[in-house]
A and B are shown apart, each in its own frame.
Chain A
Amino acid sequence: MKHICVIDYGMSNLLSVSRALEACGFEAGAVSSPDALNGADGIVLPGVGAFGDGMHALEERGFPDALRECASAGVPLLGICLGMQMLFDSSEESPGVKGLHLISGKVRRLPSQGIDGSVLRIPHVGWAPVRARPGGTLQGSALEHLEDGSELYFVHSYAAQPEQVRDALALAFRGGVPLCAAAQRGNVLGCQFHPEKSGPAGLAILKRFFT
Chain B
Amino acid sequence: MSRKLRVIARLDVKDENLVKGVQFEGLRKLGDPHGFALRYYEEGIDEILYLDTVASLYGRNNLGDVLCRTASDVFIPITAGGGLRSVDDVRTILRMGADKAAINTAALKEPRLITQVAQAFGSQCMVLSIQAKRTASGGWEAYYDNGREHSGRDAVEWAAEGEARGAGEILLTSVDCEGLRRGMDSELIRAVRERVSIPVIAAGGAGRCEDLCAAAQAGADAVAVGSLLHYEKAHVADLKQALRDGGWEVRK
Cβ–Cβ contact B99 & A125, under 8 A: no
State A19–B75 Cα separation when bound (angstroms).
9
Q: Does B192 count as interface, using CB distance less than 8 angstroms?
A: no
Chain B residue contacts of A209, Cβ below 8 A:
none
State how many angstroms separate the Cβ of B239 from the closest Cβ of chain A. 15
A–B pairs, 29, beta carbons within 8 Å = A13-B94, A13-B97, A15-B68, A15-B95, A15-B97, A16-B71, A16-B75, A16-B97, A23-B72, A23-B73, A48-B121, A48-B122, A119-B197, A123-B124, A123-B168, A125-B124, A125-B199, A127-B46, A127-B251, A149-B252, A150-B252, A151-B251, A153-B77, A155-B122, A196-B75, A198-B76, A199-B44, A199-B75, A199-B76
Q: Does A62 count as interface, using CB distance less than 8 angstroms?
A: no
Q: Does A25 count as interface, using CB distance less than 8 angstroms?
A: no
Query: Which residues of B line the A interface, CB within 8 A?
Result: 4, 6, 41, 44, 46, 68, 71-73, 75-77, 94-97, 99, 121-124, 168-169, 197-199, 251-252
State how many angstroms separate the Cβ of A209 from the closest Cβ of chain B. 15
Cβ–Cβ contact B123 & A197, under 8 A: no
Chain A residue contacts of B99, Cβ below 8 A:
13, 16, 197
Chain B residue contacts of A119, Cβ below 8 A:
197
State A146–B73 Cα separation when bound (angstroms).
21
State A48–B124 Cα separation when bound (angstroms).
11
Cβ–Cβ contact B252 & A197, under 8 A: no
Chain B residue contacts of A127, Cβ below 8 A:
4, 6, 46, 251
State how many angstroms separate the Cβ of A155 from the closest Cβ of chain B. 5
Within 8 A of B (CB), among A179-211: 196-200, 202-203
Binary contact readout A92-125 vs B (1 if CB under 8 angstroms, 0 otherwise) = 0000000000000000000000000001010101
Cβ–Cβ contact A23 & B199, under 8 A: no
State A19–B73 Cα separation when bound (angstroms).
7
Within 8 A of B (CB), among A41-89: 48-49
Binary contact readout A4-44 vs B (1 if CB under 8 angstroms, 0 otherwise) = 00000000010110011011000000000000000000000
Chain A residue contacts of B197, Cβ below 8 A:
119, 121
State A202–B197 Cα separation when bound (angstroms).
29
Chain B residue contacts of A203, Cβ below 8 A:
75
Known contacts being A48-B121, A123-B168, A127-B46, is A20 close to B75, with CB within 8 Å? Answer: yes
State how many angstroms separate the Cβ of B197 from the closest Cβ of chain A. 7
Q: Does A136 count as interface, using CB distance less than 8 angstroms?
A: no
State A155–B46 Cα separation when bound (angstroms).
14
State A23–B72 Cα separation when bound (angstroms).
8
Query: Which are the 8 A-B pairs with shortest beta-carbon distances?
Result: A127-B251, A19-B72, A151-B251, A155-B124, A15-B97, A19-B71, A123-B124, A15-B71
Cβ–Cβ contact A197 & B199, under 8 A: no
State A16–B97 Cα separation when bound (angstroms).
6
Question: Which residue of chain A has its CB nearest to the CB of B125?
Answer: A48
Chain B residue contacts of A22, Cβ below 8 A:
72
State how many angstroms separate the Cβ of B33 from the closest Cβ of chain A. 17
State A15–B99 Cα separation when bound (angstroms).
11
Known contacts being A127-B6, A127-B46, is A197 close to B168, with CB within 8 Å? Answer: no
Question: Which residue of chain B has its CB nearest to the CB of A14?
Answer: B95
Chain A residue contacts of B124, Cβ below 8 A:
123, 125, 155
Chain A residue contacts of B44, Cβ below 8 A:
199
Question: Which residue of chain A has its CB nearest to the CB of B70?
Answer: A19
- Residue among B41, B46, B76 facing the most chain A CB atoms (10 A cut-off): B76
Cβ–Cβ contact B76 & A153, under 8 A: yes
Question: Which residue of chain B has its CB nearest to the CB of A49?
Answer: B122
Question: Which residue of chain B has its CB nearest to the CB of A152?
Answer: B251
State A187–B169 Cα separation when bound (angstroms).
37
State how many angstroms separate the Cβ of A205 from the closest Cβ of chain B. 11
Known contacts being A49-B122, A125-B168, A127-B251, is A197 close to B77, with CB within 8 Å? Answer: yes
State A119–B198 Cα separation when bound (angstroms).
12
Known contacts being A13-B99, A19-B72, A197-B99, is A126 close to B4, with CB within 8 Å? Answer: yes
State A127–B99 Cα separation when bound (angstroms).
15
State A81–B95 Cα separation when bound (angstroms).
18
Question: Which residue of chain A has its CB nearest to the CB of B120?
Answer: A49
Chain A residue contacts of B68, Cβ below 8 A:
15
